[in-house]
Amino acid sequence: MDFRVKAGSKLTGEVQLPGDKSISHRSIMCAALAEGTSVINGFLNGEDCLATLDAFSKMGVSIDRTDNKVVVQGVGLRGLKKPDSDLYLGNSGTSMRLMSGILAGQNFSTVLTGDHSLSARPMERVVTPLNLMGSNISTNLEGKPPIKIESSSGLNSLSYELPIASAQIKSCLMFAGLYANGPVTVTEHLRTRNHTELMFQEFGIEVEVNESSKARKITVIPPKSFLATDINVPADFSSASFFILAALITPESELLIKNVGINKTRIGFLHALRHMGANIELQNEINSLEPTADILVKTSDLKGISLNTALVANMIDEMPAFFIAAALAEGITKIKDVKELRAKESDRLQAMSEALESFGVKFHLNGDGIVINGLGKDGVFKASKISSHGDHRIAMASSIASLRAEGETTIIDCHNVNTSFPNFIDVCREVGINIAET
């Protein structure tokens, strides 16, 4: 499936977005292991989250889904059953890495597989610490899927320092900690999204968080059991980022994006854009465990910046959209320490470089960073054919960028947009974006 997008102006209206992908994954996982019935409202019906839902169904968890409402009959920490076949997780790295932690503590063996893209992603980053806990997990010779997980009689306590900033590694070990014989502590030096910590708290699982200027330590105290609870999933900030970008770069635009999760470990993108001069206002803020707000965005003249590296871990999924903002800013934007972009659904640093080149933007790759020469507020991209490399975020960022291209732009291989934002086309059209599928 390809997208065709024509240049646009004056995007207006209110935007309702699908549920947060990270929170939807974790809500299913915790609800499945709880005692009792959990109701999840706002669940994201994207392919990635449905892969998680399907995997637990195959392990004996009763799950009923109606639109974006999911009812989960928890089976308890020890209630999962051996699936009849390998668990296929499609394109979802979150499913594979977090579920590895859960399955490492089970008394049955499993095999986790994925599509071509997922099968090329590094998994040693979770296999190594899980084996330190006493599990028996292996990948192929290159450290990539499939992941084979042998049955376990129990996992050991662990204190582990993250070698890279990764919420997925942290969360994997936190879930494994539910099956350990003692506390499991994960230390991170750059703060990553804390949805797992908050979800554990929602379900009554004891989590201790100690922060200093140099590190953040998260300790899970293994429970004997925990009770079901109901979860309200806010709109996904990563999905919102594309419409924040659209309003900023499209002339005479004003968009109100409703009920978006604004967890402070997720909104580095907002901080970076405000530093560039973006006109962004938070309204109707609700300070719940997962805080939310409506986000009002207006067309803005952006200035190039040197991106604070402390924000990178908090905006890694928004980085493709940030590259486009930088390409239309006045002056130079310098981005460093984004190595993790190379280990996503595609090598996003390379994929976005190719997109910028096709759009006629000058840039310089510098190891695991990039320097982008912005075209300025009156800049216009070249109309082109852009390869998304099968990556949903590259496809959506390139689609929004096409609003500032001359003529019509084609973005190739966009099917995987369904992994995180299945109604992306519909929402685009509602606010005035001229986009079509072919």
Beta bridge partners of 257: 15, 295
Contact 392, 415 (CB under 8 A): no
**Which tokens go with 234?**
């806010």
pLDDT at site 125: 97
What's the whole-number mean pLDDT along residues 336-353?
95
pLDDT digits (tens, 9 = 90+) for 243-293: 999 999 999 999 999 999 999 999 999 999 999 999 999 999 999 999 999
Q: Measured in Å, how far apart are the chain's first and last C-alpha atoms?
A: 6
CA pseudo-torsion sign 355, 357, 358, 361: positive
Question: Does an H or E element contain 126, and which?
Answer: helix 124-132
Please enumerate in sequence order all residues whose Cβ is within 8 A of that of 136, keeping only pairs 6 or more positions apart, or say none.
Answer: 149, 150, 152
Give residue for tokens 């020890």.
78
- Backbone phi and psi for residue 208, each to the nearest 5 degrees, phi listed first: -105, 130
Active site residues: 317
**Which tokens go with 425?**
């086309």
What's the whole-number mean pLDDT along residues 145-173?
97
- CATH class, domain 21-232, is alpha beta
**Which tokens go with 17?**
């977005």
pLDDT at site 135: 97
Distance, in Å, from the CA atom of 269 to the CA atom of 348, rounded to the nearest integer, reads 16
Mean per-residue pLDDT over the chain, rounded: 97
Whole-prediction pTM: 0.96
pLDDT at site 432: 97
Beta bridge partners of 296: 256, 281
Beta bridge partners of 298: 254, 279
- pLDDT over 90 (residue 186): yes
- pLDDT over 90 (residue 207): yes
- Torsional class of 8: left (φ above 0), alpha (ψ -120 to 50), beta (otherwise): beta
Instruction: For the chain, give every domain's residue range.
Output: 3-19+234-437, 21-232
3-state secondary structure (DSSP) of residue 273: helix
User: Degrees (nearest 5) of the Cα angle 90, 94, 100?
Assistant: 95
- CATH class, domain 3-19+234-437, is alpha beta
Distance, in Å, from the CA atom of 350 to the CA atom of 313, rounded to the nearest integer, reads 18
pLDDT at site 92: 97
| Percentage of the chain modeled with pLDDT above 90 | 98
185: confidence class by pLDDT, cuts 50, 70, 90:
very high
- pLDDT over 90 (residue 213): no
Distance, in Å, from the CA atom of 376 to the CA atom of 383, rounded to the nearest integer, reads 17
One fold for 3-19+234-437 and 21-232? yes
- pLDDT over 90 (residue 359): yes
User: Degrees (nearest 5) of the Cα angle 283, 284, 285?
Assistant: 95
pLDDT digits (tens, 9 = 90+) for 90-140: 999 999 999 999 999 999 999 999 999 999 999 999 999 999 999 999 999
Dihedral over alpha carbons 113, 242, 65, 228 (to 10 degrees): 90
Distance, in Å, from the CA atom of 28 to the CA atom of 74, rounded to the nearest integer, reads 9
175: confidence class by pLDDT, cuts 50, 70, 90:
very high
User: Degrees (nearest 5) of the Cα angle 412, 413, 415?
Assistant: 135
